Structure 1
Amino acid sequence: MAGTFTGTARLTRLALRRDRIQLPLWIVGTTALLAFTYAAEQEQFPTEADRVTALRTAAESPAILMLRNAPSGITDGDMLAFQILAFLAVLAGFMSILAVVRHTRQNEETGRTEMIGSMVVGRHASLTAAMIVTAGANLLLAALLALTLIGNGLPAGGSIAFGLGVGAAGLTFGAIAAVAAQLSQGARAANGIAAAAIGAAYLVRGLGDAFGEVRPDGYTMTSAWPSWLSPIGWTTLVRPFADDRWWVLVLPVAVFAALLAAAFVLADRRDVGMGMISARPGPARAATALLSPLGLAWRLQRGTLLGWAVAIGLFGVVIGSLAGTVADAFAGNEGAARTIRELGGEGALADSFFTAMLAMVGAMVAGYVVQAMLRVRAEEAGGRAEPLLATATGRLRWLGSHLLVAALGAVFLLLLAGVSAGLVAGLSAGDLSDRLPDLGAAALVQTAPALIMIGYVVLVFGLLPRLAVGLGWLGFAVSLIFGQFGELLNLPQAVRDVSPFSHVPALPSAEVSATPLVLLAVVAVALGAAGLALFRRRDLAL
């Protein structure tokens, strides 16, 4: 049995060397976000009365509970857990799935596993090394989060529970990614399965908190049963700084062990390079559309676009369904109104709510375009771009085709969100003309940040291809935090201005201005043009 793990130590060192930049960026960035949030909380809620008002607002608003989590108290630690604990669990989850898939399925896809396997390496060594690195990263993240809170004077017990809750969520999603890597036949599919699990876990946790029971004090809550079905829900149910329910951590540890055992069993039952879910055989003759680079780009991107369309369409329906209740939920509650206006700008409260929600859709679409554009790096690294570019197909035409598909996909997703939200809101009000045009236009102005992200990814792909994946997602994360959460975190305006999200007109709560949209478009074109020029002049890099 020991022979199946031969070479694990060396593969672990190799994985650590490959991740010497990406994992530290994830860990340090997540810890810094916690520190910024704590500093902003001290300014935003300086008194106990401010906290009670804010939490009473949250307890009465399913929309806020979906985005945050059920409040558990009014201390500094309680407020911090309410504001950011679930989001940190999401970040730990993405860090974990990317690391696990990178060192398992991606290695098989690029041929590294077969080359390494020709030496004295056990069958389980690669998966074990990936899980050791991922577990170590989550433990280090948990420790840094706890030390950050302790250093700010918060109770040690709650701080450690806070950190371990986030780390436990990361471990769980890492194990889910390990199973996905055995089921799928490609790294993108494995990442997609695991990312969908994170999205589902966040949604289920949100439903559990939204339908939770408000306690007699009016500002703390008991989550409903769906939260117990979610790994992110388990993190919040630890209730750090309130109850410190350590026993809840048994759930993610048990699921981690069970899923890891399942991953090892599945690894024994498949060939290297294959997945338990076999790829469908293609047709005997290729479609005529595949004779062009644009047709090929669409064929490669359509699965990703479909998955995002389902998620964003459902989110649009949820936004529209809240149209009839948002004004009543926030009426007379200045704390809730202030929070929504910080996210959505000044204007009528319902309009500010829709602005905030559609800004979140804009962030989701920006995430889609990053994923879509990084497909070109996967094609290059996998050796599939080289034979294609050896034909009459030019580099600019090949890369431009992927750029066009990503841009049109972003417009489609934004229209889908705006139309679905507008239709549901209009049907609820009995007048389709009441919301459909406004929300459609409000969604479309979010195209500008998506185009900026496309240009940025093209630039890093042309300049630093081997770091394109890490830098691409890092740029997205920085833009999201500075732009979407800059106001809530009390970041300086100069810092918030770095993000393209900060310059989007706040429709429908404010009048549209063409100037920032034109400037964003110019920046997007400049970034894309620079990236295309750099790609045209550099060598292909595996």
Structure 2
Amino acid sequence: MTTLTGTGTLLRFALRRDRLTTPVWIAVNALTVLSMPNTLKNLYGTESERADLVRQLGTNASFRALIGPLYDTSLGGLTAWRVGVYAGVLAAVTSLLIVVRHTREEEESGRAELLASGAVGRRASLTAALLAAAVANGVLALLITAGLAAQGTAGALAFGLGLAATGMVFATAAAIVAQLTESARLARGLTSAALGAAFVLRAAGDSASGDGSSPLTWLSPLGWLENLRPFAAERWWVLSLFTAAVLAQAAVAYVLAGRRDLGMSFFPTRPGPAAGRLGSAAALAWRLQRGGVLGWSLGFFLAGIVFGGLADGAADLVGDNANAREIFERMGGQSGVTDAFLASMVGIMGLIAALYVVASVLRLNGEETAGRAEPLLACAVGRLRWAAGHLTIAFGGSALIMLLAGLGFAVGYGKEVGPVLGACLVQLPAVWVIGALALLLYGVAPRLAPAAWAVAVAVLLIGWVGPALNAPRPVLDLSPFGHLPKLPGGEMAWGPVLVLTGLAAVLAAGGLARLRRRDLTT
């Protein structure tokens, strides 16, 4: 038996397990990219509008840091500029989740040990995980290449390959981290932190240089993606950087996988104190989720500072472009451009907060399926008390991160603290509706609980891409965020806020009632 025996079977199993989640991530990424040419054609349809955009980007370092430099004013070049970095981030997130799920998470759950007792090689699971990530990135590359071919075959191919290569860089990085850590949650967190560092390096480099030549930009795989320059005299040699990084990281992961025992890691978790210090289920929930809360809090505060600092330059960037102004107004309301920009950015923060609340609520499902909830509930801890601890972190944590986002906006913007802070808090009822729906799915049928991610991603897609595509009102109203008042700048409407809050309470109560009566997953 070789070290790769059983790889084909494990790959088919991995693809089957991901038959719902991975296609959703790929579809969101592809639709976001492929919707851009038509949107950008409406925004920058004339040469004067495109020349004005180039001029504004040349003088606005903050927007270069946020989006990146513009190398070509064709529709393909504008598409690569507008969504290239963020499509790369999404490809990286998809890839790291796939690899961690099929390596460290399998070992943590004990399934890998059962498989290892059969005819399965030592490195088969790692190989299958990387191949599953490669399949996902390959499908994304094909969709992007085919969808953008009308803008230029070479540019479309470069863009598709660049996104796939970015995903594989972080897939192999996740493979290394999965060997070093003992927890799937920590592996995901550390790889995500590396992705965040790559984004910061690229942003700092692009802020300092308008042509992507900064050394900081070249230190980031996301910087390599933009320096590939799709639709702008493609630099094909940049793909060799991705290839070298993927091969080197994969080699390190394979070496590490061959030198550790199954289920162990090179940096194992330290044992806790002999005498327990957690006196309640709520304290345990905080201990389990405090890292996520702190990470999200810091991220939202810093994002608020960045977006707040961009507010004053929004009017200059939009200039006389009526189409760009209209999109901001559809996202942020019929107020001035600055208020509309702030409202649209606050709305985006609310959409992202929905991802946090889903992840936090589904921690209940993770604890149950991993078998850790059963021994806890065998003690003098009721199901509602156990769930209440995690739900306090989920719903209270979402309020905290939106509050910190508001404070960040106030710091970055430097004026009108109250309206911006209130605008962030107004997003909470919609965030709570998504979290309560996740709780209802978990309470009714734990196997359906991951579908909450599909709901959150769909809401994100409606709120992010819908206004740019001028989607009809009934489509936008499918999202709870579509019913919220557009603040700051608009009028406060308490009716939708109260209705959404009540809906969240009803959904949460239904989920808890069902959780109290159903059997636990064993």
Describe how 1:75-90 pairs up with structure 2 within 5 A: 75-90=74-89
Describe how 1:138-177 pairs up with structure 2 within 5 A: 138-150=137-149, 153-177=150-174
- CA distance in 1 between partners of 2:426 and 2:375 (Å): 39
- Is 1:435 the counterpart of 2:408 in the alignment? no
Please state how far the C-alpha of 1:97 moved relative to its aligned partner.
0.9
Contact kept, 8 Å, 1:141 with 1:167, in 2: the verdict is yes
Please state how far the C-alpha of 1:116 moved relative to its aligned partner.
0.9
Q: Give secondary structure in 1 for the equivalent of 2:262.
A: coil
- Is 1:357 the counterpart of 2:345 in the alignment? yes
User: CA-to-partner distance for each residue in 1:205-264, whole Å, 9 max, x for gaps?
Assistant: 233333332xxxxxxx55533222222222222111111211111111111111111112
- CA distance in 2 between partners of 1:240 and 1:47 (Å): 21
What is the aligned partner in structure 1 of residue 463 from structure 2?
483
- CA distance in 1 between partners of 2:146 and 2:314 (Å): 39
- CA distance in 2 between partners of 1:31 and 1:441 (Å): 34
Describe how 1:289-438 pairs up with structure 2 within 5 A: 290-322=278-310, 337=325, 340-423=328-411, 425-426=413-414, 434-438=415-419
Instruction: Indicate how the Cα distance of structure 1 residues 445 and 477 shifts in structure 2: closer, same or farther if over 3 A, else same.
Output: same
Contact kept, 8 Å, 1:211 with 1:223, in 2: the verdict is no
Unaligned regions of 5+ residues in structure 2, if any?
A: none
Contact kept, 8 Å, 1:72 with 1:239, in 2: the verdict is yes
Two-structure CA RMSD over aligned residues (Å): 2.4
Amino acid at match of 2:226: T
- CA distance in 2 between partners of 1:104 and 1:204 (Å): 28
Unaligned regions of 5+ residues in structure 1, if any?
A: 214-220, 427-433
Describe how 1:192-271 pairs up with structure 2 within 5 A: 192-213=189-210, 221-222=211-212, 224-271=214-261
Q: Give secondary structure in 2 for the equivalent of 1:391.
A: coil
Please state how far the C-alpha of 1:397 moved relative to its aligned partner.
2.7
What is the aligned partner in structure 2 of residue 510 from structure 1?
490
Contact kept, 8 Å, 1:66 with 1:206, in 2: the verdict is yes
Q: Give secondary structure in 2 for the equivalent of 1:23.
A: helix
- CA distance in 1 between partners of 2:433 and 2:62 (Å): 29
- Is 1:463 the counterpart of 2:448 in the alignment? no
Instruction: Indicate how the Cα distance of structure 1 residues 374 and 190 shifts in structure 2: closer, same or farther if over 3 A, else same.
Output: same
Instruction: Return 53-62 or 89-98, whichever deviates more.
Output: 53-62
Q: Give secondary structure in 1 for the equivalent of 2:303.
A: helix
- CA distance in 2 between partners of 1:180 and 1:274 (Å): 13
TM-score by length of 1: 0.90
Contact kept, 8 Å, 1:355 with 1:507, in 2: the verdict is yes
Amino acid at match of 1:188: R
Instruction: Indicate how the Cα distance of structure 1 residues 223 and 522 shifts in structure 2: closer, same or farther if over 3 A, else same.
Output: farther
- CA distance in 2 between partners of 1:52 and 1:523 (Å): 48
Contact kept, 8 Å, 1:146 with 1:160, in 2: the verdict is yes
What is the aligned partner in structure 2 of residue 284 from structure 1?
274
Instruction: Indicate how the Cα distance of structure 1 residues 369 and 418 shifts in structure 2: closer, same or farther if over 3 A, else same.
Output: same
- Is 1:450 the counterpart of 2:431 in the alignment? yes
Contact kept, 8 Å, 2:312 with 2:338, in 1: the verdict is no
Amino acid at match of 1:453: I
What is the aligned partner in structure 2 of residue 186 from structure 1?
183
Please state how far the C-alpha of 1:405 moved relative to its aligned partner.
1.6
Instruction: Indicate how the Cα distance of structure 1 residues 478 and 443 shifts in structure 2: closer, same or farther if over 3 A, else same.
Output: same
What is the aligned partner in structure 2 of residue 74 from structure 1?
73
- CA distance in 1 between partners of 2:321 and 2:390 (Å): 47
- CA distance in 1 between partners of 2:34 and 2:164 (Å): 17
What is the aligned partner in structure 1 of residue 114 from structure 2?
115
- CA distance in 2 between partners of 1:15 and 1:328 (Å): 49
- CA distance in 1 between partners of 2:332 and 2:197 (Å): 25
Q: Give secondary structure in 2 for the equivalent of 1:4.
A: coil
Instruction: Return 448-457 or 61-70, whichever deviates more.
Output: 61-70
Please state how far the C-alpha of 1:63 moved relative to its aligned partner.
3.9
Contact kept, 8 Å, 1:201 with 1:230, in 2: the verdict is yes
- CA distance in 1 between partners of 2:82 and 2:424 (Å): 26
Contact kept, 8 Å, 2:308 with 2:412, in 1: the verdict is yes
Describe how 1:11-160 pairs up with structure 2 within 5 A: 11-150=10-149, 153-160=150-157
Please state how far the C-alpha of 1:407 moved relative to its aligned partner.
1.0
Q: Give secondary structure in 1 for the equivalent of 2:341.
A: helix
- CA distance in 1 between partners of 2:196 and 2:326 (Å): 27
Please state how far the C-alpha of 1:346 moved relative to its aligned partner.
3.0
- CA distance in 1 between partners of 2:214 and 2:331 (Å): 27
Instruction: Indicate how the Cα distance of structure 1 residues 32 and 440 shifts in structure 2: closer, same or farther if over 3 A, else same.
Output: closer
User: CA-to-partner distance for each residue in 1:276-316, whole Å, 9 max, x for gaps?
Assistant: 222122122222xx332222211211111011122222223
- CA distance in 2 between partners of 1:124 and 1:103 (Å): 12
User: CA-to-partner distance for each residue in 1:372-424, whole Å, 9 max, x for gaps?
Assistant: 11211110111011122233423233223211221111111122222233245
Please state how far the C-alpha of 1:268 moved relative to its aligned partner.
2.6
Q: Give secondary structure in 2 for the equivalent of 1:72.
A: coil
- CA distance in 1 between partners of 2:33 and 2:312 (Å): 34
Please state how far the C-alpha of 1:479 moved relative to its aligned partner.
0.8
What is the aligned partner in structure 2 of residue 430 from structure 1?
none
Please state how far the C-alpha of 1:340 moved relative to its aligned partner.
4.3
Contact kept, 8 Å, 1:60 with 1:329, in 2: the verdict is no
TM-score by length of 2: 0.93
- Matched residues, number: 522
